Amino acid sequence: MHGQAGTVTAVARYVHISARKTRLVADLIRGKPIGEAVMYLQHLKKRAAQPVLKLLLSAVANAEHNNRLDKDTLKISRITVDGGPAIKRWQPRAYGRASEIKRPTSHITISLESVVQKKKGDKKFSFPVIRRRAKKEKAETSDAKREQNPDVPKNEGKEEKGPKRKGVFGIKKNLFNRKGGEK
């Protein structure tokens, strides 16, 4: 979908996160260059960051493929989050009753525009490479180090702690055991 020349729009509908929570993420990336926005979303510990990132990458792909725009010159011109219909579920309660649970959904719209660099001093934010499976790579490198140097123990970076403290904790556990009865 596209509106004006140099503008690209992507829409995600019926996203299973409330609009209020998704707006918190949308406010962080509004008006930012694409590279910076992707970096923010990759490191943000909010559940709404994942669908917003997916939609942003879809909009970038639309801009490259359909409109032949360079992704390094794109910036988020508009991002809106509207409430969608609430999905209704039922939870059983006491005495044979049931309570209704409403799970909110949201519709996310992202518009990108191509911005030309005006000054040489302007900071250009290049599009970052999306990394997945970083934990696997880290584990493979530590295994490779061990193979090269067999003298290195398996717990190379970990410090050994002193002996475990016994005493009060063990006694306390037995004294205040709720199933133990009186002792």
What CATH number does residue 28 fall under? 3.90.470.10
Question: Is 95 a domain residue?
Answer: no
Domain residues for the domain of 17 are: 1-88+100-115+125-148
Mean pLDDT for the stretch of residues 119-137: 62
pLDDT score of 172 more than 70: no
Q: What is the pLDDT of residues 1-34, one digit of tens each?
A: 545 677 999 999 999 999 999 999 999 999 999 9
Mean pLDDT for the stretch of residues 64-83: 93
Helices within 14-133 (DSSP H only): 19-29, 34-43, 49-67
pLDDT score of 179 more than 70: no
- What's the total number of domains in the chain? 1
Question: Is 179 a domain residue?
Answer: no
23-27, 70-74, 143-147: segment of lowest average pLDDT: 143-147
Question: Is 174 a domain residue?
Answer: no
Question: Which residue, 131, 156, 112, 128, is CA-closest to 7?
Answer: 112
CA distance 164 to 161: 8
Question: Is 154 a domain residue?
Answer: no
Question: Is 39 a domain residue?
Answer: yes
In the predicted model, what is the mean pLDDT of the chain? 82
Tokens 């180090």 label which residue?
Answer: 145
